[in-house]
Amino acid sequence: MENGGYVGEVEPAGKKPIAELRGVTKRFGEVLAASDLNLSIAEGEFLSFLGPSGCGKTTALRMLAGFETPTEGDVLLDGKVVNTLEAHHRPVNMVFQQYALFPHMTVAQNIGYGLRQIRPRIPKAEISERVSKALDVVQLAGFEDRKIWEMSGGQQQRVALARAIINEPKLLLLDEPMAALDRKLRKEMQIELQDLQRQLGITFVLVTHDQEEALSMSDRICIMRDGRIVQIGSPQELYDRPNSRYVADFVGTSNFFNGKLQRSTDGLSEVLLDNGMRIQGMPGDGLVDGQEVCVSVRPEQMKLRRQGKGLEVEVHNRIFLGEHTEYLVTHETLGDFLVLAPRQADLSEGAFAVRDKALVSWETSAALILDRN
């Protein structure tokens, strides 16, 4: 880890872990798909793996499901090492990205599949009763005898969900379950999924590369990059205290100014920017004097004024967003950056027009000094 190794709370405070990854590494030949993953998932929590394509999210999930065995390290379920335990012996269910519904079975047969595998056999009547109940939960009552290809994408997704939750798994794994849905349906399903998770109390592990989805749904998010976990934390923690430029960029938007860390005193530090300016900010963990760093300031933390102190900029573009106005401003040597002004500020100060001169300032506490990577 470049930044001293602190990735946040690997263990959630005070709760019993239902699943754990301990130093888990997975190689596919030359490809390092997962590298030294350390993570503990608490009972009843909603955890997301967030990261760009190919960063190893699916691989991590598949090791929990039992489709891949780790090359190194241990996977634990309920405190027991299960590295080589086959998928059909694990009390874990998965919702597949393309749903993977059985095309030769009806909706009811698909949903009852897991229950039908259990020995000693569960009576038929009980299975069909539980199937109806599961259909109720996903709001598909009455669709029992439909064929899979007669269902829309959103309905198929619910069937896939019902097929997993009917088994009351200890852990429900979801691999980008909403990726195939359109925007509106995705929003609806996100809310339903969250409700469902609270209602059932099942632990959810969601894989996504959609930051909004992860931020709005999760108790904790695990940010991944190139097979490594970069940071773990609640959505607020990741937003307010990212441990690297990568995280600050991935979670929300931010403005970055590159420079060298000058003097690290307790609490506050000074950065010599590449253009020769010096600014103060809050240093992140594990940074050393002289290190190449960047200063991150969120657009909504910046204030745009006509008089006083601040960076002299020119307004380049203005987008009215209702509650906020987004200004793209240009500084002579620092380049372009974004400022998000609340409606209130626009009303009291008067809105800026394109090509207006303005002064940008922010609180020192809003400037985070971060690892460049």
Partner 1 sequence: MRLYAICVYLFLYIPIGVIALFSFNAGRHASQLQGFSTKWYGKALSNPFVMDALETSLVVAFCSALFASVFGTMAAVALQGIRGPVRATFDLLIYVAVMIPGIVIGIATLIGLVTVFDQLNPLIAAIWPDGFKPPKLRMGIGSLIAAHTMFLMALVVIIVRARLAGMDRALTEASSDLYATPMGTFRQVTLPMIFPAILAGFLLSFTFSFDDFIIAFFVAGSETTLPIYVFSSIRRGVTPEINAIGTMVMGVSLLLLITAQLLLQRGGKKSR
Ligand X SMILES: Nc1ncnc2c1ncn2[C@@H]1O[C@H](COP(=O)(O)OP(=O)(O)OP(=O)(O)O)[C@@H](O)[C@H]1O
- Residues in touch with partner 1 (CB under 8 A): 65-67, 86-89, 92-94, 96-98, 100-104, 113-114, 117-118, 163, 167
CB 241 within 8 A of CB 280: no
Q: Which is nearer to ligand X, 25 or 291 (CB)?
A: 25
**How many residues appear in the chain?**
373
Q: How many residues bind ligand X (CB under 6 A)?
A: 12
CA distance 195 to 199: 6
Tell me the window of 28-36, 197-205, 259-267, 323-331 that interacts with ligand X (CB under 6 A): 28-36
Q: Does 208 bind Mg ion (CB under 5 A)?
A: no
Member of 33, 178, 261, 329 binding ligand X (CB under 6 A): 33
Q: Which does 33 bind (CB under 5 to 8 A by kind): partner 1, ligand X, Mg ion, none?
A: ligand X
Cα–Cα distance for residue pair 200/198, rounded to 1 Å: 6
Quote the CA–CA distance of 53 and 25 in Å, as a whole number. 18
Helix (H) / strand (E) element for 256: namely strand 255-264
List 75's β-bridge partners, or say none.
Answer: 21
Count CB neighbours of 237 within 10 A: 17
CB atoms within 10 A of CB 86: 10
Task: Report what 28 binds from partner 1, Mg ion, ligand X, none; CB cut-off 5-8 Å by kind.
Answer: ligand X
Tell me if 156 contacts ligand X by CB under 6 A: no
Pairing mode of beta strands 357-361, 311-320: antiparallel
304: enclosing H helix or E strand: strand 303-305
Minimum separation from the CB atom of position 105 to partner 1 (A): 9
96 binds, among partner 1, ligand X, Mg ion, none (CB under 5 to 8 A by kind): partner 1
Figure out which of the listed residues 3, 57, 235, 284 binds ligand X, where binding follows CB under 6 A. 57
**CA-CA-CA-CA torsion sign (53, 55, 61, 66):** positive
98 binds ligand X, rule: CB under 6 A: no
Binding mask 56-75 for Mg ion (x = CB under 5 A): --x-----------------
**Looking at the DSSP assignment, which residues form a beta bridge with residue 95?**
174
The tokens 């069937």 sit on which residue?
159
C-beta closer to ligand X: residue 130 or 228: 228
| Residues 212-231 close enough to bind ligand X by CB under 6 A | none
Element (H, E) at 368: strand 368-371
Q: Which stretch binds ligand X (CB under 6 A): 55-63, 257-265, 317-325, 355-363?
A: 55-63
177 binds, among partner 1, ligand X, Mg ion, none (CB under 5 to 8 A by kind): none
Residue 339 binds to ligand X (criterion: CB under 6 A): no
**In the complex, minimum distance from the CB of residue 72 to ligand X, in angstroms, rounded to a whole number:** 15
- Are 62 and 110 contacting, i.e. CB atoms less than 8 angstroms apart? no
Q: Does 209 bind ligand X (CB under 6 A)?
A: yes
Query: Candidates 54-62, 160-168, 182-190, 262-270 — which segment interacts with ligand X by CB under 6 A?
Result: 54-62
Query: Which position among 8, 12, 17, 56 is part of the footprint of ligand X (CB under 6 A)?
Result: 56
Q: How far is the CB of 68 from ligand X (least distance, A)?
A: 8
Using CB under 6 A as the binding rule, whether residue 53 contacts ligand X is answered as yes
Taking the complex as a whole, how short is the minimal distance between the CB of residue 351 and partner 1, in angstroms?
A: 52
CA distances from 233 to 41, 64, 153, 210, 254 (A): 12, 20, 32, 16, 18
Which sign, positive or negative, has the C-alpha torsion 143, 148, 153, 154?
positive
Question: What is the arrangement of strands in the sheet containing 72-77, beginning at the earlier edge strand?
Answer: 31-42, 17-28, 72-77, 80-81
Q: Which residues bind ligand X (CB under 6 A)?
A: 28, 31, 33, 51, 53-59, 209
Q: Which residues bind Mg ion (CB under 5 A)?
A: 58
